[in-house]
Amino acid sequence: MTHPLIVRRDLDFMLHDWLKMETLFQAPAFADHSRESIDAVLDLSEALAVDLFLTHHKASDEIEPRLENGQVVTLPAIKPALEQYAELGLFAAGFGEELGGLGLPFLACTASFAFFAAANIATSAYALLTTANARLIATAGSAKQIETFALPQIAGRWFGTMCLSEPQAGSNLADVRTKAVADGEDDLGARYRLSGNKMWISGGDQDISENIVHLVLAKIPLADGSLPDGTRGLSLFIVPKILPDGQRNDVSVAGLNHKMGYRGTSNCLLNFGEGEGALGWRLGEPGRGLQQMFLMMNEARIGVGLGAAALGYRGYRHALRYAQERIQGQRDGGAVAIIEHPDVRQMLLAQKAYAEGALALCLYCAKLVDQPEDADAAALLGLLTPVAKTWPSEFGLAANDIAIQIHGGYGYTRDFDVEQLYRENRLNPIHEGTTGIQGLDLLGRKILRADGVGMAVLERRMMQTCAHARSTPDLADLADALTAAWTVVKQAVAAVQALPEAAQLDHATAFLRGFGHVVTAWLWLDQALAAKTAGADAFHAGKIVACRFFFEFELPKIDHWLTTAASASGLTMAVANDSF
């Protein structure tokens, strides 16, 4: 293992043997690409991640961003890494040629980004936020807004942020109090003066890019001067740090948050409008801010899941190498490496199942993004997005926890990377919607209150995999197990629907965990089928073993989670607050 990042053969297997990425090239949007062009991008991505991102991973954790005279100062090594990222066209990779991009499938962009997330999640976060910001402006903005604010981000000269949360409004965006007062109109559209505070803003200020484009959720006052209630009153505004005329906008850094991990990404409390008000231009129609922001958030949620998968994967690679090299204990009368001990082998298989399963889930959803004209793909993507964000965040983190355990006492020291990877991954179940929020979204919005199309597509695809597996030697029993697991999911949904409406979402997080495990089991079985066809060497055998491990050791856990999800006991809500 020359580096601890994503093994290229794993990516090639998932992209080509399993997901058949070449089928995407039949679409006009991707007709100019081929496996050779995608491979070239992945080659460049891997090399850059190793040479300029991995090399300052430790330093970005040790030397945090600092505030000097109102300006955030970052680790110097971050700037040249992202400049080279821009020089290679990677900010622009997923955008069409009309916007100066390479027109790559989102699947290819996601695979490319996996190298950077594994190498240095904090530095790569600037790129993730910027491309999501630019895509939203390119989708919802006017031609002038796209030219002024999106194109410099696509070129990698300007960076972007998403400004949602406030000190008093975290997950509940209905409580947003940032105000946008009309201030006329110009060639960039309806202009406003914004005032308020935004909290937890990743990349909110830095000294890396020429400018920063903030996308800010705010409310336009009613005729009586009051702010509208709820989320329907939220609008979205483009608020640059530096205005088009070169003047500094009325946006200031009130403070930096000092984080457990992810330290290379500055995280700011921003004040808008300490003076006359920060100038911003409305993006799209009034009151559509949250719906527009979800375009950015959904891309970011797949990106968060991918980052979590990459961190878990890197932790697994470190643990595997350590287990192969660390001599400790004896078997059959001789000293052995710890990989020879049953407990360590089980931990390694769990890591492999979690990390590679999480990566597969994110890549599968990325391919769905590339099929916007396919109604089934769109419905399935909507259903799986909260799973793609949360399952890798929860179980990628579990893989990092196991990596520390395999390293023993050494894993608890800063001399080894695994403790830093754990700290960095601990953020992912929290930001871009906590695990609890994603559970509510999945069970409430995507299943109980949905039209059922996404669930029907998932069931159809899952049963197709089972039918294929039943005709494949030594996988038929797994097909039966997956079919039974899906029946448990449907029974749980029916049981939840029978509960009083007020209690239906009490255990949505447990449902998300059980549902996510069933989805991951399906993807593992689908990969095992691909591995059977692709080859019979140790690599492909490892895929089949990991699949069987997941079915034997992980899939049985769904009974507890899904039984809990459908529970009518009411215990958690019945306990008095002063009894805690």
Residue positions annotated with a catalytic role: 432
The single residue listed with the structure tokens 């594994």 is: 118
Contact 479, 470 (CB under 8 A): yes
Contact 127, 153 (CB under 8 A): no
Calpha distance 358→131 (Å, rounded): 22
Buried residues in 208-227 as b, exposed as e (16+ CB within 10 A)? bbebbbbbbbbbbeeeeeee
3-class secondary structure, 179: strand
The single residue listed with the structure tokens 């009051």 is: 226
3-class secondary structure, 281: strand
Calpha distance 170→545 (Å, rounded): 42
Tokens, residue 327: 């001599």
For the purposes of burial, counting CB atoms within 10 Å of the CB of 228, is it exposed (0-12), middle (13-18) or buried (19 or more)?
middle
Q: Identify each DSSP E strand in 297-356 by its residue range.
A: 327-331, 334-337
Tokens, residue 198: 């935004």
Length of the chain: 580
Contact 446, 454 (CB under 8 A): yes
Cα torsion 443, 448, 453, 458: sign: positive
Calpha distance 218→155 (Å, rounded): 28
Degrees, nearest 5: CA angle 536-540-543: 145
The single residue listed with the structure tokens 């899952």 is: 462
Contact 531, 543 (CB under 8 A): yes
**DSSP secondary structure string for all residues of 216-236:** EEEE---TTSPPPPSSTTEEE
